[in-house]
Amino acid sequence: MVKNRKASTSLEAASSPEQEHLLGEGGGALYVHLPYCVKKCRYCDFNSYAYTDQNIDAYLSSVLREAELRAPGLRPQTLFVGGGTPSFIDADRLKSFFDNLNDITGFADSVIEATMEANPESFDDETAQAVFGAGINRLSLGFQSLRNDVLLAYDRVHDVDRSFKAFESARNAGFDNINIDLIYSFPGQDLNDWLSDLESIHELSPEHLSCYELSYEPGTSLTKLRDAGRHQQNSNDFAKQMFDLTRAANSSAGYLPYEVSAFSKQGRQCQHNLTYWNSLPYIGLGAGAASWQTPYRVMNIASPEAYVGALAASESPHQEKTACSPTTILFDALMMGLRLENKGVSFEHLFNLSGLDARQHYATQWSKFIDQSMVVFVEENEGTYVRATALGYLHLDTILGELLPDDVVLTV
Ligand code: SF4
């Protein structure tokens, strides 16, 4: 994430000319954030909240109000409903919400992909049928682990058996495009155990896998436990072994890596996430949701209650809105594009986004990285791509550190 933003103050900002531009073109990507969960997982630093007695109807109405302001008739190409745990909301409410969102945006007829995130404890036959019938055609299921003791240590509220049942509910309802989220490198996890878990997942045959290394984000309860000496983080060397094993096992099972954590069967890459990684425009609705409309980066108010309050008072739900500088746009596009394995990002695309010639702008750095076999230039699709090599892929942080412009501050 890049910190380089200013605040906006009025409701006019929600329908300002730069956003009209996207709406005028039609298409694009739409993200919707539903922030409630049964409880907070130990490793989670997302904008998500354990449900106590928050007013879910007021929140859903506010998201629809924001959709009316910012995305009427958008007809997005992709929709992604994330959280939080969207499936935490009951089937009837979800169906009604998607029907209303469709009335406003027309997504059901326009999308090539409409994903909803779900957690096993709250995804049953009823919810599966309701959301599939309402136009959601891709599901992202948070399995995270195939070990009950690890799920318990993460403070997850489902067991492994429940994960497999949720997958079955999805298939029975008609979902033929399913992602499974997994986390590896839990302390004590053995390479053979992880390989065996992956093989079980391969047998299940989802279309997509997202495999994340366990991360220790500032402020999470997992990080606090580690810092208090009550939890031993794996070494970087061991995490690297798991990363390599994950890639090899998934590739040999037909799940091709196309981003640091993403693997898919042929033709099943997540189109919505490719929008992010290609720095293409998107609108985010809901508490804490981000939007990108070159050169404007917008962040909504993070607190669901404050977000609901702002819309109820006819105030802007935006917390920050920044016109990014060309060097920031260029850096951000490289930061995202270099994650795309075997592809990278073309100099033509970088120029279209930023107005800068990235080949010239970073001439000294490219020369060094090419000498170090970290990046290559590749002629492809009538363009020249800058692409991380296998070695560079392991050192993306180092590469980006040297590309970082002076006016950009990375959050920690
Ligand atoms: S279910 Fe997902 S969003 Fe909710 S707390 Fe756990 S990891 Fe975070």
| pLDDT tens string 212-228 | 999 999 999 999 999 99
Angle between helices 347-354 and 326-337 (to 10 degrees): 140
Query: Is the pLDDT assigned to residue 77 strictly greater than 80?
Result: yes
Tell whether 223 and 365 lie within a shared domain: no
The whole domain housing 244 covers 2-277
Q: What is the pLDDT of residue 405?
A: 87
> CA-to-CA distance for 47 and 138, rounded, in angstroms?
22
CA of 131 relative to ligand 1 center, distance in Å: 20
Among 34, 47, 85, say which to mutate for ligand 1: greatest number of ligand atoms within 8 Å of CB.
85
Ligand 1 within 6 A of CB of 145? no
* Best residue among 33, 34, 36, 37 to mutate for probing ligand 1, ranked by most atoms within 8 Å of CB: 37
User: Is residue 111 domain-resident?
Assistant: yes
- Mean pLDDT over 365-393 rounds to 95
Residue 19 is predicted with a pLDDT of 35
Rounded mean pLDDT, 62-82: 97
- Ligand 1 closest atom vs CA 40: 5
Identify the band that residue 26 occupies on the pLDDT scale cut at 50, 70 and 90: very low
**Do 78 and 150 belong to one domain?**
yes
- Quote the pLDDT of residue 188: 84
Tell me what pLDDT residue 382 has.
Answer: 80
- How many angstroms separate the alpha carbon of residue 154 from the centre of ligand 1? 10
Alpha carbon 133 to its chain centroid, in Å, reads 24
Domain shared by 247 and 345, yes or no = no
Based on the structure, what is the number of domains in the chain?
A: 2
Task: State the pTM of this model.
Answer: 0.91
Nearest Cα residue to atom 2 of ligand 1: 84
The atom of ligand 1 lying closest to the CA of 50 is 5
Model confidence pLDDT, tens digit, residues 241-277? 999 999 999 999 999 999 999 999 999 999 999 999 9
pLDDT of 21 strictly over 60: no
| CA 43 / ligand 1 centre spacing (Å) | 8
**Of residues 215, 234, 235, the one with CA closest to residue 223:** 215
Interatomic CA distance for residues 132 and 368, integer angstroms: 50
CATH classification at residue 364: 1.10.10
Q: Which residue has the higher pLDDT, 119 or 406?
A: 119
Q: How, if at all, do strands 29-34 and 2-3 pair?
A: unpaired
Cα 339 to Cα 122: distance, rounded to the nearest angstrom:
32
Report the share of the chain in percent with pLDDT over 90.
89
Q: How far is the CA of 46 from the centre of ligand 1 (A)?
A: 7
**Tokens of residue 55, six digits:** 């007013």
Measured by CA distance, the residue closest to atom 6 of ligand 1 is: 41
What integer is the mean pLDDT of 232-241? 92
Instruction: Give burial (CB, 10 Å; 0-12/13-18/19+) of 171.
Output: middle
Ligand 1 closest atom vs CA 83? 3
> Which tokens hold the place of 392?
């560079």
- Pair (67, 202) in one structural domain: yes
Q: Is residue 379 one of the residues assigned to a domain?
A: yes
Ligand 1 atom at minimum distance from 156 CA: 6
Residues 82 and 169 both lie in one domain:
yes
| pLDDT tens column, 145-170 | 999 999 999 999 999 999 999 999 99
Q: Pick from 226, 253, 277: which residue ends a domain?
A: 277
Return the sign of the alpha-carbon dihedral for residues 366, 368, 373, 374: negative
- Whether residue 344 lies inside any domain: the answer is yes
How high is the pLDDT of residue 20? 32
E strands, 127-201, are: 138-144, 178-184
As a whole number of angstroms, the distance between CA 272 and CA 80 comes to 7
Residue 321 in contact with residue 8, Cβ under 8 Å? yes
Residue 411: band (very low, low, confident or very high) from pLDDT cuts 50, 70, 90 = very low
pLDDT band for position 381 (50/70/90)?
Answer: confident
Q: Which residues contact 73 (CB under 8 A, 6 or more apart)?
A: 23, 26, 104, 105, 106
Give me the chain's average pLDDT, please: 92
As a whole number, mean pLDDT of residues 302-317 equals: 97
pLDDT at 10: 31
pLDDT band at 406 (very low <50, low <70, confident <90, very high): confident
